[in-house]
Chain A
Amino acid sequence: MNDTFKITIDGKEIEARQGQTIMDAADAAGIYIPRLCSHPDLKPIGSCRVCTVVVDGRPQAACVKPVMDGMVIENDTPAVLQHRRNIIDMMFVEGNHFCMFCEKSGNCELQALAYRFGITAPQYPFQFPEKEVDGSHPDILLDHNRCIMCARCVRASQELDGKNVFQSIGRGFHRKIGVNGEKELGDTDMAVSDRATEICPVGCIIKKRVGYEVPIGQRIYDKAPIGSDIEEVHP
Chain B
Amino acid sequence: MSKPRVATTSLAGCFGCHMSLLDIDERILQLIELIDFDRSPIDDIKHISQRCAVGLIEGGCCNEENVHVLQEFRKNCDVLVAFGDCATMGGIPAMRNNIPLEECINEAYRDGVTVYNPKGIVPDDPEIPLLLDKVYPAHEVVKIDYFLPGCPPSADTLWAALTALLSGKPLDLPYELLKYD
A100/B151 in contact, CB under 8 A: yes
Can you name the residue of chain A whose Cβ is closest to the Cβ of B138?
Answer: A121
Within 8 A of A (CB), among B81-103: 82, 85, 88-92, 94-95, 97-98
Is B178 within 8 A of A118, CB to CB? yes
Closest to B94 in A: A128
Q: Mark A81-124, 1 if CB is under 8 A from B, else 0.
A: 00000000000100011111110011000010011001011100
A121 touching B88, Cβ below 8 Å: yes
The smallest C-beta distance from A228 to any residue of chain B, in angstroms, reads 10
Indicate if A129 sits at the interface (CB-CB under 8 A): yes
Is B90 touching A126 in the complex (CB atoms < 8 A)? Answer: yes
Q: Total A-B residue pairs with C-beta atoms closer than 8 Å?
A: 68
A111 to chain B, nearest CB (A): 6
**A residues in contact with B146, CB < 8 Å:** 120
Docked complex Cα distance between A122 and B137 (Å): 11
Instruction: Give B116-138 interface residues, CB cut-off 8 Å to A.
Output: 134, 137
Q: Judging by beta carbons under 8 Å apart, are A126 and B175 in contact?
A: no
CA distance A97 to B151 in the complex (A): 13
Cβ contact of A96, chosen from B98, B140, B179, B180, cutoff 8 A: B98
Which one of A98, A111, A118 contacts B173 once the chains associate, using CB atoms below 8 Å?
A: A118
Give complex CA distance A125, B146 in Å. Answer: 16
Q: Which of A96, A101, A128 contacts B134 (CB 8 A)?
A: A128
Q: Are A126 and B89 in contact (CB under 8 A)?
A: yes
Residues of B within 8 A of A (CB-CB), count: 28
Task: Kindly state whether residue A130 has any CB partner on chain B within 8 Å.
Answer: yes
**A98-B92, A120-B149, A121-B89 as given contacts; A128 in contact with B178, CB under 8 Å:** no
Of B82, B90, B98, B148, which is in contact with the most chain A CB atoms at under 10 Å from its CB? B98
Q: How far is the CB of B107 from chain A (nearest CB, A)?
A: 16
Chain B residues, CB < 8 A from A121: 82, 88-89, 137, 139, 144, 147, 149
In the assembled complex, the Cα of A18 lies from the Cα of B151 at a distance in Å of: 48
Q: Is A19 an interface residue (CB 8 A)?
A: no
Q: Which residues of A contact B180 (CB under 8 A)?
A: 99-100, 105, 111, 114-115
The one of A100, A102, A115, A128 that contacts B175, using a Cβ cutoff of 8 Å? A115
One digit per residue, 1 when the CB lies within 8 angstroms of any chain B CB and 0 when it does not, for chain A 144-165 equals 0000000000000000000000
Q: A96-B98, A99-B181, A223-B176 are in contact. List 17 more A-B contacts (CB 8 A).
A: A96-B95, A98-B91, A98-B92, A105-B181, A106-B181, A115-B178, A118-B178, A120-B147, A120-B178, A121-B89, A121-B144, A121-B149, A126-B90, A128-B98, A128-B134, A130-B98, A224-B175
Leading 4 A-B pairs by shortest Cβ distance: A100-B151, A99-B180, A120-B147, A128-B97
* A to B CB contacts below 8 Å, 5 in the list: A105-B180, A120-B88, A121-B144, A126-B90, A126-B140
